[in-house]
Amino acid sequence: MSKRILVTGASGFVGGSVLHFAPADWEVHACSRSALSNAPSNVIHHAIDLCETEATAALFEAVKPEVVLHIAAIANIDYSEINTDEAVAINTECTGRLALLAQKAGARFVFCSTDNVFDGAAGNYDEIFPVSPINFYGRTKVAAEVLIHEVHTNAAIARVALVIGLPVMGSGNSFLIKMEENLRNGTAIEIPENEIRSPIDVITLGKSLLELADNDYHGVINLAGSTALNRYDMARQIATKLGFSTELVKPINSNALQGRAPRPDDVSLNNEFAREVLKTPFPELDEALDIIFNAKS
């Protein structure tokens, strides 16, 4: 069924996947500060700073969205730790305003939260495990989740695992591009061995967010791949898939590095509930890498 959807963070890594895979009969209103490139014909771009409250309210009045998919955020953990006021303004306060505007417009609200809402002591977190972030970025997302619960009655909060892949549309921020470039140049890369994640490829993530936008599930849901492993082993598996020597991949402890925000050790997410609620399959890592590189070729 055709929908009118407002997508924030549209020029980013995840936003590009959403725009690319959105059904052709949907009217997609894409919000970002920067321009879009190679957008599908059903995408209408709005250059806007979502922190500008009057402009954002006017946009809602003009578009009258049926669904709001809120992806925009300051997702850089180290930047958020230093620039706390900006992180709160964008990740928390802006989210609360958008959720309230969506509620008033009668629009469904889908929000991208993070696995960093957890402290990493347990791992294999499900949707009901108590949150306990250890970095400021995680705290801004927890605060945003609280605001959404307070103001919106039909919201889905998607806790997103580490996103891997190559940009589907535009540029985006993909560590895989930098990793492949270093490996191709014979440059060693240092990857945290202490950080256990359940990586999800950006294509699967885009499709699962669109499915959430199109259904009526409300509450928290984990969007994660079906393999939990540390980032060092993940990088070695990627190197092998690309045909490079794993000797170029060096293990480090991210929490032993100076000048960095703390990282939780094990924030692997249990995706059993998502596999029940959604039709989108959540692949194991090896299959996810095939999805990524087959899309590139």
* pLDDT tens per residue, range 157-216: 999 999 999 988 765 667 888 899 999 999 999 999 999 999 999 999 999 999 999 999
pLDDT tens track for 243-256: 999 999 999 999 88
Kindly tell me if the per-residue pLDDT of 35 is higher than 90: no
Distance between CA atoms of 86 and 193, rounded to whole angstroms?
30
The whole domain housing 79 covers 4-165+199-227+267-285
Kindly report which listed range (194-198, 233-237, 258-262) carries the lowest average pLDDT score: 258-262
Averaged pLDDT for residues 54-61: 97
- Beta bridge mates, 220: 157
What's the rounded mean pLDDT across residues 222-230? Answer: 98
Whether 124 maps to a domain, the answer reads yes
pLDDT of residue 39: 86
Percent of the chain with pLDDT over 90: 88
Q: In the prediction, which pLDDT does 197 show? A: 98
Q: Provide the pLDDT for residue 170.
A: 61
Residue 97 domain-assigned (yes or no): yes
- The answer as to whether 204 is a domain residue is yes
Number of structural domains (the chain) is: 1
Helix H, strand E, coil C: the string for the chain is: CCCEEEEECCCCHHHHHHHHHCCCCCEEEEEECCCCCCCCCCEEEEECCCCCHHHHHHHHHHHCCCEEEECCCCCCHHHHHHCHHHHHHHHHHHHHHHHHHHHHHCCEEEEEEEHHHCCCCCCCECCCCCCCCCCHHHHHHHHHHHHHHHHCCCEEEEEECCEECCCCCCCCCCHHHHHHHHHHCCCCEEEECCCEECCEEHHHHHHHHHHHHHCCCCEEEEECCCCCEEHHHHHHHHHHHHCCCHHHEEEECHHHCCCCCCCCCECCECCHHHHHHCCCCCCCHHHHHHHHHHHHC
CATH number reported for the structural domain that contains residue 214 in this entry = 3.40.50.720
Instruction: State residue 177's pLDDT score.
Output: 87
Q: Is 101 inside a domain boundary?
A: yes
Question: Does 48 reside within a domain?
Answer: yes
pLDDT in tens, 66-124: 999 999 999 999 999 999 999 999 999 999 999 999 999 999 999 999 999 999 999 99
What pTM does this model have? 0.96
In-domain check, residue 151 = yes
Q: Chain-wide mean pLDDT for the chain?
A: 95
pLDDT confidence band for 295 (50 / 70 / 90): confident
Q: Residue 137: inside a domain, yes or no?
A: yes
Q: What pLDDT does residue 259 have?
A: 87
Residue 260 is assigned to a structural domain of this protein: no
Per-residue pLDDT for 140 more than 80? Answer: yes
Where residue 55 falls among pLDDT bands split at 50, 70, 90?
A: very high
Share of the chain above pLDDT 70, in %: 98
